[in-house]
Amino acid sequence: MPPRSKKSPTRIELLEEKNKELEEELRSVRRKSKKVIDKFAEFQEEVGGSIIPYQKLGLYIGSGILFLVGLSLIIYAATHPDLDILEEYDEDSYTRESFYISGGILMGFAVLALLIGLYWFRTVKKSPGLKKLNATMFEIELAKDVFSR
């Protein structure tokens, strides 16, 4: 038998080498998947911040409409003379006080919704996590609208 010049690797050494290669491959895949997750998170944050002006516009329009409806109910109750005649004949009809109360509630709700909405948007601008939540809520609403048709 001729003498061996090099020692051939044992089965254990081959398995250890294969294990190291697989671990390195796993680390590389994890780095790539983390990059994808980070890119998605950055996209969510960007979307959450970029839709705030449009949401503010919707808030102003909605609050303005509620406020104007409430104000019109109060003006109607103050200037409409037929309400006194209706109160005399039908106690169950809409009274002047009910118009005042309804208008005041609508106006108060409009102001409260505007203040809470502005506070929410100011908070969302500061927090990356809330920007992602804002984007997620927007995307869910968008998907709901798409699939409901």
Residue 87 has pLDDT above 60, yes or no: no
pTM: 0.68
Confidence tier at 72 by pLDDT (50, 70, 90): very high
Residue 98 lies in a domain: yes
Taking 3-state DSSP, the helix, strand and coil percentages for the chain, each rounded to the nearest 5, stand at 85, 0, 15
Which amino acid is residue 30, in one-letter code? R
Residue 1 lies in a domain: no
Residue 128: domain span: 12-36+51-147
**Confidence (pLDDT) at 49:** 87
Residue 10 has pLDDT above 90, yes or no: no
**Confidence (pLDDT) at 94:** 63
Residue 101 lies in a domain: yes
Buried/exposed 52-87: b ≥16 CB within 10 Å, e otherwise: beebeeebeeebeebbeebeebbeebeeeeebeeee
Residue 4 lies in a domain: no
Residue 46 lies in a domain: no
| pLDDT tens digits along 89-102 | 666 566 788 889 99
Do the beta carbons of residue 107 and residue 75 sit within 8 Å? no
Domain count, the chain: 1
Residue 139, CA distances (Å) to 9, 37, 39, 58, 60 in order: 57, 17, 17, 16, 21
For residue 20, the SS3 value is: helix
Residue 4 has pLDDT above 60, yes or no: no
Residue 64 lies in a domain: yes
Q: pLDDT above 90 covers what percent of the chain?
A: 38
Residue 135 lies in a domain: yes
For residue 95, the SS3 value is: coil
Residues in CB range of 99: below 8 A, 6 or more apart: 73, 74, 76, 77, 83
Comparing 12-26, 28-42, 94-108, the range with the smallest average pLDDT is 28-42
Residue 125 has pLDDT above 80, yes or no: yes
Residue 125 lies in a domain: yes
- Determine the average pLDDT of the residues in 57-68: 97
